Structure 1
Amino acid sequence: MLLRASLSPPGGAVVCSGEQFGFCHSHRFISLTDPARGHLNKRRSRPTSTSISIFIQLESNGRIFESGHSSKFVFTPRAADSTQSASVDVGNKTIVPDEGFSLSKISFGVVGLGVGVSLLGYGFGAYFNILPGSEWSAIMLTYGFPLAIIGMALKYAELRPVPCLTYSDAQNLRETCATPILKQVKNDVTRFRYGDEQHLDEALKRIFQYGLGGGIPRRSAPVLKMIREEVTPLGKYCLVLVFEAKALQLSDFEQRQAKFASFFGPGITAEVAKGENDLYEVRLISDADANVSPSSSA
């Protein structure tokens, strides 16, 4: 089988196999040639409109069948730009990275333990004349030991911050629409805490009533895994609390939906939803409008 195409005006040539078009197993080619120049024209600096006449010859058992078709194409050359970086949007929303520096992101347990162990190590080395500064060895040992003990204690009682996913539109509404309680909740759960068993422990204790009538056992208490700042379809600021609760059902959260709104209120509407696996979402929606601050609306 032979596929031939003539190009007028200037064009190019493409060599291919008949197998690629599913016609036969014998190798043939498609030729887009320039009848005037007789060579390939590979470069174009502007869109080119040209007329192509394609003639197909099919050879079978010694007989040749021809058919022709004429079409007009517009070729627009484009150069690929490998330097362009694709932006990732989630649901047509841009995620704001948390890259700012804050003391709340520093683990004082790690700092205390690191400084204390460093002073102890250097102090012992200087005391035995392995390292210079033997006259300061006593001071380094004196302060290094308690710093290491305090660092270990803080590290043991440390509660790490939960991840926070913030969308750009929610960040713009936070200052004007988020209530002071919602701002405090976000700040508390996104920093290191010491001595607490889990984030929002006092709030969950009151809402789920651990060990009381109608409550749940403390071992079944939900655990906060992350928070998310987003905007509802009605344009309201929303702080989403994502809990993991393997021993609870959606009905356990729905029964306490009003308690979530009351505890984190005023000016809050609470909604609950089931997430993936054992995750549950509590959506705390601010009632303030975008052009009215929470303080003025109260």
Structure 2
Amino acid sequence: MKELFSPANVITVTGAFLTVIGAVAYGTGAANLSVPTLFYGFPIFLGGLALKTSELPPAKKIPTSKDLTDLQNAGPPELKKLVGDVTRWRYGQKTHLESSLQVLKLWDNDKPPKLLEIEELDTGKGYGVRLRFEIGGVALERWEEKKDRLSRFFAKGLQAELLCKDEGLLDLMLLPIQSKINAQDEHASE
């Protein structure tokens, strides 16, 4: 259902509708209606088709059982921005987080990693996210080499964990680092 209401689809349908109205008005001799609708409708229709060819749908967002609003607000604002960024329609990109993956040197031009889904997590220590990638042409070893950099790249105070359950799929979990104060409190209570 979400695919039906993409901005490109709305623009294309609007342009097609105006073009049809303009063509019918031209055929019936209603010059006052045909000129503006044809002159505006056809370019809008073409613009919608152009957007449709470069459209990247949002990554699938896994629903959580809890309301994480309070945790989101307490967590790093960069993670909230990341979730918002990958769950909206994008245009002119091959995949979500394209520029970030290029900077991290986790990019392959022929088979780039593809973000499939994102899930917000309540880790007990705070707010985190899980990003599931189809790793494409980037070897798992290269992801492992960049693990420390991934921890710092998206926001401060996070640690990256990599899980590879299925062949070709990788879960990148960005989790909050347990502060030293909390760790000392846990040892004191034991």
Letter of the aligned partner of 1:112 in structure 2? I
How many equivalent residue pairs?
177
Q: What SS does the corresponding residue of 1:169 show, helix, strand or coil? A: coil
Question: What is the CA–CA distance in structure 2 between the aligned matches of 1:187 and 1:127, rounded to whole Å?
Answer: 44
Are positions 1:240 and 2:139 aligned together? no
Shift of 1:145: 1.2
Is residue 202 of structure 1 aligned with residue 99 of structure 2? yes
Counterparts in 2 of 1:99-138, with a 5 A limit? 106-129=5-28, 133-138=30-35
Deviations 1:249-287 (A, max 9, x none): 432221111111121121211111103232100001124
Aligned to 2:188: none
When normalised by structure 1's length, the TM-score is 0.54
Asked if structure 2 preserves the Cα contact closer than 8 Å seen for 1:158 and 1:193, the reply is yes
Cα separation, 2, equivalents of 1:135 and 1:200: 47
SS in 1 for 2:104: helix
Q: 1:282 to 1:142 in 2, by over 3 A?
A: same
Tell me the residue number matched to 1:256: 146
Where in structure 2 are there 5+ consecutive unaligned residues?
180-190
CA contact (8 A) 1:221 1:245 kept: yes
RMSD over equivalenced CA pairs, Å: 2.4
Q: Is this contact kept in 2: 1:163–1:227, CA < 8 A?
A: yes
1:268 matched to 2:165? The reply is no
Distance 1:177 1:270 in 2: 19
Superposition deviation, residue 238 in structure 1: 1.6
Contact 1:274 1:280 in 2 (8 A): yes
Give 2:161's aligned amino acid.
E
1:225 aligned onto 2:124? no
SS at structure 2 position matched to 1:219: coil
SS at match of 1:114: helix
Task: Give unpaired runs (5+ residues) of structure 1.
Answer: 1-100, 211-216, 290-298
Q: TM-score, normalised by structure 2?
A: 0.82
Letter in 1 for 2:27: F
Does the 8 Å contact 1:223/1:244 carry over to 2?
A: yes
Give 1:144's aligned residue.
Answer: 41
Counterparts of 1:108 and 1:202, CA distance in 2: 23
Shift of 1:159: 1.1
SS in 2 for 1:111: helix
The answer to whether structure 1 residue 189 and structure 2 residue 189 are counterparts is: no
Task: Tell me which protein shows more helix as a share of its residues.
Answer: 2
Q: Equivalent pairs: percent with the same residue? A: 29
Q: Deviations over 1:220-246 (max 9, x none)?
A: 4311111011222x4332200100024
The alignment partner of 1:167 has SS state of coil
Post-superposition shift, 1:134?
4.9
Distance 1:271 1:236 in 2: 15
Distance 2:41 2:58 in 1: 28
* Alpha-carbon shift at residue 176 of structure 1 (Å): 3.4
2:109, 2:105 → 1: CA distance?
Answer: 9
**Matches of 1:170 and 1:280, distance apart in 2:** 26
